[in-house]
Amino acid sequence: MAIEFTKYHGLGNDFILIDNRSSSLPVVTPEQAIKLCDRHFGIGADGVIFALPGENGTDYTMRIFNSDGSEPEMCGNGIRCLAGFLADLERLGTGDWGLGTGEESSQSSITYRIHTLAGVMIPQILPNGQVKVDMGLPRLLAGEIPTTLTPAEEKVISQPLEVAGQTWDVTCVSMGNPHCITFVEDVAAIELETIGPKFEHHPVFPQRINTEFIQVVSRDYLKMRVWERGAGITLACGTGACASLVAGVLTGKCDRTATVELPGGPLQIEWSEIDQRVYMTGPAEKVFTGKL
């Protein structure tokens, strides 16, 4: 059976998007997703995203398989790409929107309600092509992350964690998926390929962990590198950027609105003081289409 796909990326975090609206089950297995994501023998991607029928009053459902075949609860860059893909499927014209280019469009904004394993996410394609996503409320208790670093009913803020013979000061946040954030003097100096897996598989994180290393340049500008659970080093992580800003606010290191600079480019993140929800704004760019 032939399957059409579209390749998208959000700041270099790239995905294979598949129209799965005719079925509530993904048309590709996790084992097949591993092969498709292989950058030498497949299409190449950090994950495969499926646009499925909506649930519980939502417009659509999002599911994603990582490049290792695991299934995360959500993906921030991925949901922006999914919004662009859905607009394309609905013939609202990602080409006309110029997603991620910053070019003005005569179109009004488009908003979707998308069911995910992390809850309902609400991406909005803005007239300038950027995608703003209501990422919901951050979850801060250890039992919600989950982690055993502190008792389940307590927050994990500036807790010591020994990894690879070094003690790290970490703060943990869930954006529907788990994140461990540590602030460093120079993100470029972190040997991510070595230390990342040790954080991901540390026994205090029973469901593994995404790990963000953050350099505070100023209170409204952060630099970030990330090791993603199930994908390894990626150029960007939307939920990680959100979690990192929340961690920065909790530790008094940054303001509630800041630019988070990732290797693939910047995201604008806000933790609203009014409704306590986190908002992420960034690009989603269509790369090419194909058929499996």
Q: Write out the catalytic residue numbers.
A: 75, 237
User: Which neighbouring-strand residues pair with 159?
Assistant: 170
Phi, psi of 61 (to 5 degrees): -120, 140
For the stretch 229-241, what's the b/e string if a residue is b when 16 or more beta carbons lie within 10 angstroms of its beta carbon?
bbbbebbbbbbbb
Report H helices in the chain: 30-37, 76-89, 94-97, 192-200, 238-250
**C-alpha to C-alpha distance for 190 and 215, rounded to whole angstroms:** 11
**C-alpha to C-alpha distance for 229 and 206, rounded to whole angstroms:** 12
Does residue 140 contact residue 155 with C-beta atoms inside 8 Å?
yes
3-class DSSP assignment, residue 111: strand
Does residue 54 contact residue 66 with C-beta atoms inside 8 Å?
no
**Would you say the C-alpha torsion 236, 230, 26, 29 has a positive or negative sign?**
positive
- Stated as kind and residue range, the H or E segment containing 258 is strand 257-262
3-class DSSP assignment, residue 209: coil
